[in-house]
Amino acid sequence: MAKISSTVLRPTEADRPQWPERFARHYRSLGHWRDEVLGELPREGATRHPAAVALVDGDRRWTYRELESEVDILARSLSRLGLRQGDRVVLQLPNIAEFVLGWFALQRLGAVPVHAMPGHRRHEISHLIRLTEAVAYVIPARHARFDHRELAAEMKAEHPSLGQVIVVGDVGARPDFVPFDALHDDTAPAIAELARPAPEDLALLLLSGGTTGTPKLIPRTHQDYAYNARAAANISELTSDSVYLAVLPIAFNFTMSCPGILGTLQAGGTVVLAPNPSPDTVFTLIERERVTITAVTPPLVPYWLKEYTESTPDLSSLRVLQVGAARLPDDIARGIGPTLGCRLQQVFGMAEGLLNLTALDDPEDIVCSTQGRPISPEDEVLVVDDQGNPLPDGETGELLTRGPYTLRGYYRSPEHAVTHFTENGFYRTGDLVKRLPSGHLTVVGRVKDQINRGGEKIDATEVEECLLGYPGIVSAAVVAEDDDELGERSVAFVVCARDAPTARELAAFLRQHGLAAYKAPDRVVAIEQLPLTPLGKVDKRALRSRG
């Protein structure tokens, strides 16, 4: 195997996320931040419960002891391949065991996984590699009828930093790509000889839903991310008997650590991977593996409830269904417990940090009508009016937050500091919420220029910029409209110098442009001119009400 050239950038102090020292000391003194790094989680599990099952993917199973030895050998092989502490690695895998194994192996090295979504294409991946100067890109050979090797070949030609492409499956016509299965080099030196990353080091990069044209990256540290998962696992009451089914993409913060995969492994439970969210697949897995907790987005809920009523599988092991990432309508929420016989847990989170959960013993009305409350007593939450003044409970305003696992700045983009953070370090979520005296939050809307398409976030500006490349489109504005199934879908209002394209034509154009498919507008409306506000900005509120 060819080695990665030694000219790539190594970790810099600048990449280490910074909390003011006063806050860092406080979080450490309370024991929220500990001397822990994510790569040691499998080893701790192997010490505490070696024979318990940690991971299940189809017919493949790993006990904690096996997980530890697999991660160890993978990490050593990746090190021999040239990967080093601080290196960024774009990880784009579906829900297969290699995601989990590869992720922990990178952590063990102190390398930094960059969480790409399975649906991302040239536009997004290229941006991620450029921004992070990634040295490696991990892909499946093919997934969802897409050949990732072709995209990887393009990326390798385009980005000099990209030394290695690692493929789960067949490398095809690219002998220079490394098969994941070849990373089994038992003769590679032990990782103990390499430096352990520090708890305050950058551990992973998550993708933000974004509202500024190019996806921003969220730096998470070992100590903040481990705390995020542990605090969530406490509220979700995870134990070594818990069996978590990963239905949503693993790359999603929700699935990874809310409490998700990390919270389950910290508790000594079992993680089961679902290859897709269809009720058939999921119900079979819940029955077979005696799943106790799983997590979905709102559009999946009615679909599961309907299928359940028709096929009545044995879901008696299921204690908790987490629902989040978009607003769950109250009436659907009320149907979950009576139909499935489990507790609903609402989840209002963000890759940027702040996570809100309902507790399993919260009153029914709170569970069905709020999106939970912050998981840490150190989460500071403000609800403010448009002048930034704090509002009393019960009034609607923008949610601002800071705390032990909420970012203080985006990765390598100081230019976003002013728009997304207050002077004293609060992150402006862009969400409109109401707070109850108990601290529970209800999400009522948003001020950010985003479409929440059933939990998938679409940055309006990013799509608008791409639409302007379509021949004949003079100006464009993308807004949300209500949708029965998805909650929201996207509509593009376009001003055209010639015949307006159909939604299908635009989707094909955007696909060619390399944009992920879910970002294509669901509907296109031709319009004479875009309405403007008195300040001369596109009046999106007016467009939304035109529908």
- Choosing from 105, 139, 258, 265, the residue that interacts with ligand OOB (CB under 6 A) is 258
- Choosing from 79, 107, 429, 490, the residue that interacts with ligand OOB (CB under 6 A) is 429
As a residue count, the chain comes to 547
CB neighbours (10 Å) of residue 531? 14
Q: For residue 5, which phi and psi values (nearest 5 degrees)?
A: -65, 155
User: Which residues pair with residue 490 across a beta bridge?
Assistant: 480
Cβ distance to ligand OOB smaller for residue 263 or 324: 324
Contacting range for ligand OOB; rule: CB under 6 A; set: 58-66, 161-169, 325-333, 473-481: 325-333
Instruction: Outline where 142-203 has alpha helix (H).
Output: 148-158
Shortest spacing between CB 152 and ligand OOB, in angstroms: 25
Compute the half-sphere exposure of residue 179: CA atoms within 13 Å on the CB side of its CA: 10
Shortest spacing between CB 270 and ligand OOB, in angstroms: 21
- Establish if 326 lies at the interface with ligand OOB (CB under 6 A): yes
Instruction: Outline where 381-522 has alpha helix (H).
Output: 417-420, 460-467, 503-512
Shortest spacing between CB 257 and ligand OOB, in angstroms: 8
Cβ distance to ligand OOB smaller for residue 326 or 507: 326
**425 three-class SS:** coil
Q: Which helix (H) or strand (E) holds 79?
A: helix 64-81
Cβ distance to ligand OOB smaller for residue 124 or 431: 431
- Establish if 209 lies at the interface with ligand OOB (CB under 6 A): yes
- Choosing from 324, 353, 397, 521, the residue that interacts with ligand OOB (CB under 6 A) is 324
Cβ distance to ligand OOB smaller for residue 343 or 446: 446
- Choosing from 216, 319, 440, 457, the residue that interacts with ligand OOB (CB under 6 A) is 457
Which residue has its beta carbon closest to ligand OOB? Answer: 349
Strand runs (DSSP E) across 372-486, as ranges? 373-374, 380-384, 397-402, 427-435, 441-446, 450-453, 456-459, 473-483
CB contact set of 9 (below 8 Å; sequence gap of 6+):
133, 161
Using CA atoms, how far residue 120 sits from 62, 438, 470, in Å, is 29, 39, 21
Shortest spacing between CB 327 and ligand OOB, in angstroms: 4
- Establish if 431 lies at the interface with ligand OOB (CB under 6 A): yes
Contacting range for ligand OOB; rule: CB under 6 A; set: 45-53, 278-286, 318-326, 458-466: 318-326
- Establish if 349 lies at the interface with ligand OOB (CB under 6 A): yes
Contacting range for ligand OOB; rule: CB under 6 A; set: 117-125, 236-244, 251-259, 466-474: 251-259
CB contact set of 153 (below 8 Å; sequence gap of 6+):
165, 174
- Establish if 443 lies at the interface with ligand OOB (CB under 6 A): yes
How many Å apart are CA 103 and CA 332, to the nearest integer?
Answer: 35
For the packed helices 97-109 and 64-81, what is the interaxial angle rounded to 10 degrees? 60
From residue 160 to residue 199, the character string flagging contacts with ligand OOB as x (rule: CB under 6 A) and all else as - is ----------------------------------------
User: Which residues pair with residue 146 across a beta bridge?
Assistant: 143
Compute the half-sphere exposure of residue 284: CA atoms within 13 Å on the CB side of its CA: 9
Shortest spacing between CB 47 and ligand OOB, in angstroms: 29
Shortest spacing between CB 191 and ligand OOB, in angstroms: 30
- Choosing from 247, 340, 351, 400, the residue that interacts with ligand OOB (CB under 6 A) is 351
Report the interface residues with ligand OOB, using CB under 6 A: 209, 253-254, 258, 324-327, 346-351, 355, 371, 429, 431, 443, 446, 452, 457
